[in-house]
Amino acid sequence: MVNGFVLIPGRTSKQGTTLNEGKLTAAYLRETETLLMNPDDLQRLGLQSGNMVQLRSAHGSVTVPVEAAKSGELPSGVLFIAYGQVSSQLMGGDTHGTGMPDSKGLDVELTVATTASSGLE
């Protein structure tokens, strides 16, 4: 079953602190490769924290683990993932002269992953 969502990539404070340890550390990768979802959406889709989902945008697709966001942190229908290699696969390359591709309000399709792999497809 395919479900439509809006993805909002961004920076997190934990991403900033783990960056000091390096972009290849387990903590940094976990922070930038984990999708956050409204707990009600998670329940509605029959998902649990740690399940793998596939996100597909007009520019690419990724398979990532999903976690419940804190209650009230994300509205229903909105997903969050920290900026990184995974989120970049879902953004286009056009920067409109700013140096930063469009990254807010990306339309994505979410499906439950059929494999246990994670990260880039």
28-60 confidence digits (pLDDT tens): 778 778 999 999 999 999 999 999 999 999 888
Task: Please state the φ and ψ torsions of residue 44, each to the nearest 5 degrees.
Answer: -60, -35
**pLDDT at position 121:** 47
Q: The tokens of 107 are what?
A: 């339309």
**pLDDT at position 105:** 72
| Alpha helix ranges (H) inside 20-116 | 26-32, 39-44, 85-88
The answer regarding whether domain 3-120 maps to CATH 2.40.40.20 reads: yes
Ranges 38-42, 66-70, 114-118: which has the least confidence: 114-118
Stated pTM of the model: 0.77
* pLDDT greater at residue 7 or residue 98: 7
**pLDDT at position 95:** 47
Per the DSSP assignment, residues forming a β-bridge with 81 are 9
Identify the three-state secondary structure at position 28.
helix
Mean pLDDT, residues 92-99: 54
What residue spans define the domains of the chain? Answer: 3-120
